[in-house]
Amino acid sequence: MTLPVVFRCNASSRVGLGHLMRCREMARLLTEAGHACTIVGPSEDLREPNDDTLFVRWIPMSGEQGPEQDARDFIAICREAGAVHAVMDDYRVDPAYQASLKAQGIRFMQQFDASKPWDFHADIIVNSSPYERAEDYATYVKNPDAQLLLGPKYAVLRPEFSELDIRPAGRPVRRILVSFGGGDDLGAIRLTLDALADTAGAEGVTAVIVSGNSNPRNAEHAAHVATLPPGRAEFHIHPKNVAVLMNCCDLVIIAGGTMSYEAALCTLPMVLIALAPNQLRPCRGWAEQTGAEMLGTVDTVTVEMIRDALEALVSDTARRTDMALRGQAMVDKSGGQRLVSALLERDEI
């Protein structure tokens, strides 16, 4: 039986592209099982050629009209598609918006931002952060039949990560992945490069920089990398082989978003710099659960803080190995499948 599913997704250079990545991967799993997906939200300039195979419709909707009108418009799109299943990967979907979806008989999954707790009416409530605990949300869940899916086992990874031959933990640090999502890195990349230039023992280390098309600082970063000595840095804009690039690295300096789960899978020790308040809790979770270095938010982290963290990690193989193994044990490649099965109320699609 073919089921239409509608996604509400918030993605931009300011918000980042992690929401869109999750929606794409869930849509891939649904489409392969014969279901039809519509995505509402992202602008046309974020479309990629493969999106035509994932979504039968791509409907830009900024959300600037406010949650009440957004809800009305989204419900109208669901009716037009004949859909009673929806995925809300947009942290602006407030309690009133959720209640309106329930009133229309829509079964929906909601990815939520734990830095802004509020009432939840969703059928499936998802946060893959390693920091979250079900007991913290007992008073917020208003749907008595809701499933609360928390922790890294519900993280959605890009499909190319399932094909990797993961390298062993504890390898020497020769390549360091530096990436802060698909949008504006807020200066974190330059801060990290300056720290690497001042890090003892990093003379033979290459910074592998991965940035998105939507990062307004790309030209600035490219010009700076061009001034560095040969072999000190590679600059990749929206590469198609992110999984391969990551798997060839030995440590990462990243934010607390989607890439942290991929880094954990690839046995990569993490140095974490949050770009936004909603990344603080995941960063703290990784620090508590794996020993990852959580330095703070980009507006408070200094070159010296990054340098000191790197010098300590590069020289401590045992610590890097322990950090990597603990992270890898928390993540597998089936998070997207688990979410799709929960949405459709099936053991498998």
| pLDDT on residue 214 | 87
**Parts of the chain belonging to CATH 3.40.50.11190:** 4-157+333-344
Q: What would the mean pLDDT of 113-126 be, rounded to a whole number?
A: 91
Q: What would the mean pLDDT of 289-298 be, rounded to a whole number?
A: 96
Distance CA 193, CA 187 (A): 10
- Does 3.40.50.300 match the CATH number of domain 160-328? no
Q: Does residue 152 surpass a pLDDT of 80?
A: yes
Q: Is 235 helix (H, G, I), strand (E, B) or coil?
A: strand
| pLDDT on residue 349 | 47
| pLDDT on residue 347 | 62
Band (282; pLDDT cuts 50, 70, 90): very high
Among the CATH numbers 3.30.950.10, 1.10.420.10, 3.40.50.11190, 3.40.50.12780, which is that of 4-157+333-344? 3.40.50.11190
Q: What is the pTM of this model?
A: 0.89
Task: Give the pLDDT confidence of 53-97 residue by residue, as tens digits.
Answer: 999 999 999 988 899 999 999 999 999 999 999 999 999 999 999
Cβ contacts of residue 104 below 8 Å, gap of 6+? 75, 78
Q: What would the mean pLDDT of 183-191 be, rounded to a whole number?
A: 95
| Least confident range of 92-106, 259-273, 333-347 | 333-347
251-254: strand order across its sheet: 233-237, 206-211, 175-179, 251-254, 270-274, 293-297
Q: Does residue 348 surpass a pLDDT of 70?
A: no
124-127: strand order across its sheet: 57-60, 36-41, 4-9, 85-89, 107-111, 124-127, 147-150
Band (346; pLDDT cuts 50, 70, 90): confident
| pLDDT on residue 114 | 86
Q: What would the mean pLDDT of 255-282 be, rounded to a whole number?
A: 93
Place of tokens 């990062």: 215
**Parts of the chain belonging to CATH 3.40.50.2000:** 160-328
Name the residue type at position 108: F
More confident residue, 220 or 2: 220
Cβ contacts of residue 45 below 8 Å, gap of 6+? none
Task: Give the pLDDT confidence of 300-311 residue by residue, as tens digits.
Answer: 999 999 999 999
Q: Does residue 110 surpass a pLDDT of 60?
A: yes
Place of tokens 């039809």: 36
